[in-house]
């Protein structure tokens, strides 16, 4: 089976618009830790995927999956210890007010449920997201996923706030001044709803603002957002699909890093290391109010196998000290990227934390003109040279580097050296 004939077969069953990475799609056959292998036996360093959060095919996660799959796999309408153990372990990583969990199967289902809870419990309909957000693929969630949904399709109950871009917008201002400016954007969206008679149910954002380009948030911004949302009668929904499970190294959750306690937290991708497991964490009060009026059941959500896998991921994060690893290797990567920045004028800004990095590329550091086409060329050239990354941001000019949490300094050296070579060749 050649890659090209496989591609043709795929078009005939999954269609031509089912997304594929890279100009030359990658035909993978094996994964192991931070490595993946294509059909020709070529090895690639995975510096992109957060689905295999603790590494591709991690043996402890696979063992937990297989042991439980051999034992029992039904649903949570029967009592089971594993799901309770997992729920307790997961909730112990949150602020004490966030003490209830719904298990779902995908980040889309989690954001969908969070919006249902917010709208039911506030009695309001308005939801605010950013102008370049992705939160999932259901009808309600697609409306707030502005990256793929034009304003004409977002309906009457959605408003967007502009994307935060401190790299371009700081202009010498302090964090406090910048945070106040961005909170003003939110106040404008709330006022815009009010003009149309729409009351605020929730603000929903990714705590990494990942699609938006992983901006360095001004200190104090998110707590001020929460205060403004609560003052307007809404709830704060923190989407932790990208930032969660220790991605930033110093904290288990992006909102905790920012010193903010949301009303509802959603999570997905990294939670089951590839197994379809996701969740919504909220307060006892919101869960009780929602479920006393609305039956919610998710057949596969939190089943015995999903819970066993989720527990194994938490065990590996703890036992392999992967948050500490993300912190130390993350610092190493950032410093290496800043060294590259000095030598390669294409690199305008390097930011990130833990195991999540954004490298912003411009054609001119004075005008800060986004270098979208060259960023795309860099991503494809990295793939040709055996390192997998992607790109983000409204101008598609920001390298997205988000490796499995077990990424080592040796892996970092390969990433940095390859990027150096590519930039020297392509620039």
Site for a second copy in 303-322 (CB under 8 A): 303, 305-306
- 31 is a site residue for a second copy (CB under 8 A): yes
Q: Is 201 in the site for a second copy (CB under 8 A)?
A: no
Cβ 427 to a second copy shortest distance, Å: 27
CA 281/CA 130 separation, integer angstroms = 22
Based on CB atoms, which residue is closest to a second copy, 15 or 172?
Answer: 15
Q: Are 383 and 22 in contact (CB under 8 A)?
A: yes
Number of chain positions touching a second copy (CB under 8 A) = 94
Are 390 and 357 within 8 A, CB to CB?
no
Q: Pick between residue 18 and residue 367 the one whose CB is nearest to a second copy.
A: 18
Whether the CB-CB separation of 340 and 423 falls below 8 Å is answered with yes
Determine the Cα–Cα distance for residues 378 and 84; give it in Å rounded to an integer: 46
Whose CA is closest to 163, among 191, 205, 126? 205
Q: Which is nearer to a second copy, 26 or 414 (CB)?
A: 26
Spell out, one character per residue from 137 to 176, where the chain touches a second copy: x when CB under 8 A holds, - when not: xxxx-x-----x----------------------------
Q: How far is the CB of 20 from a second copy (least distance, A)?
A: 6
Choice between 336 and 404, CB closer to a second copy? 404
Q: How far is the CB of 353 from a second copy (least distance, A)?
A: 23
- At 3, is the secondary structure helix, strand, or coil? helix
Listed as own residue / partner, the contacts of 66-69 with beta carbons closer than 8 Å and 24 or more positions apart are 67/308, 68/304, 68/305, 68/307, 68/308, 68/309, 69/305
| Among the listed residues 257, 191, 196, the one whose alpha carbon sits nearest the alpha carbon of residue 228 | 191
- Residue whose entry in the numeric block shows the structure tokens 């192991």: 32
Nearest to residue 116, comparing CAs of 301, 262, 306, 266?
266
The one segment of 82-90, 178-186, 219-227, 322-330 that binds a second copy by CB under 8 A: 82-90
Q: Which stretch binds a second copy (CB under 8 A): 4-12, 218-226, 259-267, 318-326?
A: 4-12
C-beta atoms surrounding 19 within 10 Å: 5
Closest distance of CB 152 from a second copy, Å: 12
State the angle between helix axes of 322-343 and 409-426 in degrees (0 to 180), rounded to the nearest 10: 20
Rounded Cα distance, 68 and 148, in Å: 38
Beta bridge partners of 358: 351, 400
Q: Interface with a second copy includes 65 (CB under 8 A)? A: yes
Q: Which candidate, 321, 341, 345, places its Cα nearest to that of 333?
A: 341
Nearer to a second copy, 29 or 191 (CB): 29
For a second copy, the binding residue among 3, 93, 328, 363 (CB under 8 A) is 3
Give the binding range for a second copy (CB under 8 A) out of 175-183, 220-228, 299-307, 349-357: 299-307
Cβ neighbours around 319 below 10 Å, total: 9
- E strand map for 162-234: 200-206
Identity of the residue, 42 or 365, whose beta carbon is nearer to a second copy in the bound complex = 42
Region binding a second copy by CB under 8 A among candidate stretches 68-76, 164-172, 353-361, 401-409: 68-76
Q: Which of residues 235-294 bind a second copy (CB under 8 A)?
A: 268-269, 273-277, 284, 287-288, 291-292, 294
Binder of a second copy out of 42, 78, 97, 188 (CB under 8 A): 78
Sites for a second copy among residues 86-125 (CB under 8 A) = 87-88, 91, 99-102, 105-109, 112-113, 115-116, 119
Task: Tell me if residue 236 falls in helix, strand or coil.
Answer: strand
DSSP bridge pairs for 44: 36
Toward a second copy, which CB reaches closer, 253 or 290? Answer: 290
- Among positions 23, 42, 43, 69, the unique one binding a second copy when judged by CB under 8 A: 69
* Residue position matching structure tokens 């070579």: 421
Nearest distance in Å: CB 337, a second copy: 25
């Amino acid at each position: 089976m050649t890659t090209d004939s496989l591609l043709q077969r795929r078009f005939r069953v999954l269609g031509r618009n089912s997304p594929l990475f890279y100009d030359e799609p990658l035909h993978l056959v094996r994964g192991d830790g931070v490595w993946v292998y294509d059909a020709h036996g070529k090895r690639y360093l995975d510096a992109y995927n957060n689905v295999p959060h603790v590494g591709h095919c991690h043996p402890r996660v696979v063992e937990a999956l297989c042991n439980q799959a051999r034992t029992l796999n039904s649903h949570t309408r029967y009592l089971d210890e594993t799901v309770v153990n997992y729920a307790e372990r997961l909730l112990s990583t949150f602020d004490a007010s966030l003490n209830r969990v719904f298990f779902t199967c995908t980040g889309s289902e989690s954001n969908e449920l969070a919006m249902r809870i917010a709208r039911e419990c506030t009695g309001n309909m308005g939801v605010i997201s950013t102008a370049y957000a992705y939160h999932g693929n259901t009808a309600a969630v697609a409306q707030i996923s502005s990256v793929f949904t034009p304003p004409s399709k977002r309906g009457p109950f959605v408003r967007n706030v502009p994307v935060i871009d401190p790299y371009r917008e700081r202009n010498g201002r302090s964090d406090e001044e910048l945070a106040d400016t961005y909170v003003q954007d939110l106040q404008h969206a709330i006022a815009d709803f009010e003009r149309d008679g729409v009351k605020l149910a929730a603000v929903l954002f990714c705590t990494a603002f990942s699609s938006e380009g992983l901006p360095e948030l001004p200190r104090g911004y998110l707590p001020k957002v929460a205060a403004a949302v609560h003052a307007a009668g809404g709830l704060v929904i923190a989407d932790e699909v990208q930032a969660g499970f220790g991605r930033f190294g110093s904290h288990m959750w992006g909102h905790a890093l920012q010193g903010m306690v949301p009303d509802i937290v959603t999570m997905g991708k990294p939670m089951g290391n590839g197994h379809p497991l996701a969740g919504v964490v909220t307060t006892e009060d919101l869960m009780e109010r929602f479920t006393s009026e609305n039956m919610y059941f998710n057949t596969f959500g939190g089943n015995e196998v999903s819970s066993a896998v989720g527990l194994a991921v938490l065990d590996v994060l703890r036992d392999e000290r992967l948050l500490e690893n993300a912190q130390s290797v993350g610092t190493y990567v950032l410093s290496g990227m800043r060294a590259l920045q000095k030598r390669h004028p294409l690199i305008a800004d390097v930011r990130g934390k833990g195991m999540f990095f954004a490298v912003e590329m411009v054609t001119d550091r004075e005008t800060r003109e986004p270098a979208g086409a060259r960023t795309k060329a860099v991503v494809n050239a990295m793939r040709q040279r055996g390192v997998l990354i992607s790109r983000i941001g409204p101008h598609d000019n920001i390298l997205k580097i988000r490796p499995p949490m077990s990424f080592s300094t040796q892996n970092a050296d390969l990433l940095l050296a390859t990027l150096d070579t590519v930039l020297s060749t392509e620039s």
